[in-house]
């Protein structure tokens, strides 16, 4: 007998792509500006930041955690890069200011993001703080550190070299798109082709069984939170270089956009299930939704309501699918 085709499981597998296609067709019908080349590049450039952050969030959620601190890490790392590039840092021992190149400032920002992410991981694994509480605390800590670093004022005038990271083009493609594409490719390779990737899924699927099988669960969790912090820093660099300014309020709300992209892309909030490619689809859906609402002249207040409804619907679908 021919094998019975499970249409429902196939539909669930491609639900994000189907939703994205329906949304694109709808927006193209409602606005003649949506499908223009300029607008499509605007969408791709805009979602690049969310893609970078959401890749890290995907690993965290697959491992059974959550990271609410990404928005504040965006702010503090962007401010650190801006401050070091523009003014350097004072070294009391030699009574002089140490200047930084653009590359040095970016490395310092990514290192800072990694350390803040590692702090989240250590708090969760060593001190048994629930991920929600630990990362919520870091959200407040990082935002406060950003305000202290900037004295509450934006840091501007960062130069054309740094600005190129967020606004430049390379071979006809915006730099942020290149950066996010490289990060996605590396993340897919790690999750699909390495032992560490398999370990992340194992920890999220059944933490106790993973520990009994000999996996260093705490180490794996610390690494995924460190990666999340580093990728949040990359997002902070993209935002800061795009605006040529580091605002202490930067990154506000990005934790919700990131979680939305991950969940809409099919990653389960219960852990152990999901994919980086699905997260990219989720980020595209969020980006198309935001762009389409702007083109249609929808109030930004209604945008928040609609986005919240989309997140809630995605979580309900996730829970419904997990019961099947």
The mean pLDDT of the chain is: 88
pLDDT in tens, 308-324: 888 788 777 766 766 65
pLDDT in tens, 232-264: 999 999 999 998 999 999 988 889 889 989 988
Helix (H) or strand (E) holding 97: strand 96-98
CA-wise closest residue to 317 among 260, 258, 257, 255: 260
Q: Is 1's pLDDT higher than 50?
A: no
Q: Is 54's pLDDT higher than 90?
A: yes
Residue with tokens 């070091």, as numbered in its chain: 84
Strand boundaries in 185-276, DSSP class E: 245-246
pLDDT in tens, 166-216: 999 889 899 999 999 999 999 999 999 999 999 999 999 999 999 989 899
Classified as helix, coil or strand, 102 is helix
């Amino acid at each position: 007998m021919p094998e019975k085709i499970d249409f429902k499981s196939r539909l669930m597998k491609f639900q994000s792509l189907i939703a994205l296609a329906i949304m694109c067709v709808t927006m193209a019908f409602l606005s003649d500006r949506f499908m223009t080349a300029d607008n499509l590049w605007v969408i791709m450039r805009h979602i690049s930041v969310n893609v970078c952050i959401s890749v890290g969030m995907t690993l965290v959620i697959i491992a059974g955690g959550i990271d609410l601190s990404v928005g504040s890490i965006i702010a503090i790392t962007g401010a650190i890069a801006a401050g070091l590039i523009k003014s350097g840092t004072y070294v009391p021992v030699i009574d002089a200011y140490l200047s930084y190149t653009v590359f040095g400032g970016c490395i310092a920002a990514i290192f800072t993001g990694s350390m803040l992410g590692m702090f989240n991981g250590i708090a969760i694994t060593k001190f048994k703080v629930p991920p929600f509480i630990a990362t919520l605390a870091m959200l407040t800590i990082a935002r406060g550190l950003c305000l202290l670093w900037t004295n509450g004022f934006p840091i501007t005038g960062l130069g054309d070299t740094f600005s190129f990271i967020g606004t430049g083009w390379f071979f006809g493609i915006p730099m942020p798109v290149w950066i996010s594409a490289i990060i996605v490719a590396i993340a897919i390779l790690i999750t699909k082709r390495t032992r560490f990737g398999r370990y992340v899924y194992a920890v999220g699927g059944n933490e106790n069984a993973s520990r009994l099988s000999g996996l260093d669960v705490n180490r794996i969790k610390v690494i995924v939170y460190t990666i999340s912090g580093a990728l949040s820093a990359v997002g902070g660099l993209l935002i800061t270089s795009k605006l040529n300014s580091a605002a202490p309020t930067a990154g506000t709300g990005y934790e919700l956009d990131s979680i939305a992209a991950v969940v809409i892309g099919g990653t389960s909030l219960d852990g152990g299930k999901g994919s980086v490619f699905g997260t990219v689809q989720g980020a595209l859906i969020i980006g198309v939704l935001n762009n389409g609402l702007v083109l249609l002249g929808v109030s930004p207040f209604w945008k928040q309501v609609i986005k919240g409804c989309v997140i809630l619907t995605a979580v309900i679908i996730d829970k419904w699918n997990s019961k099947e």
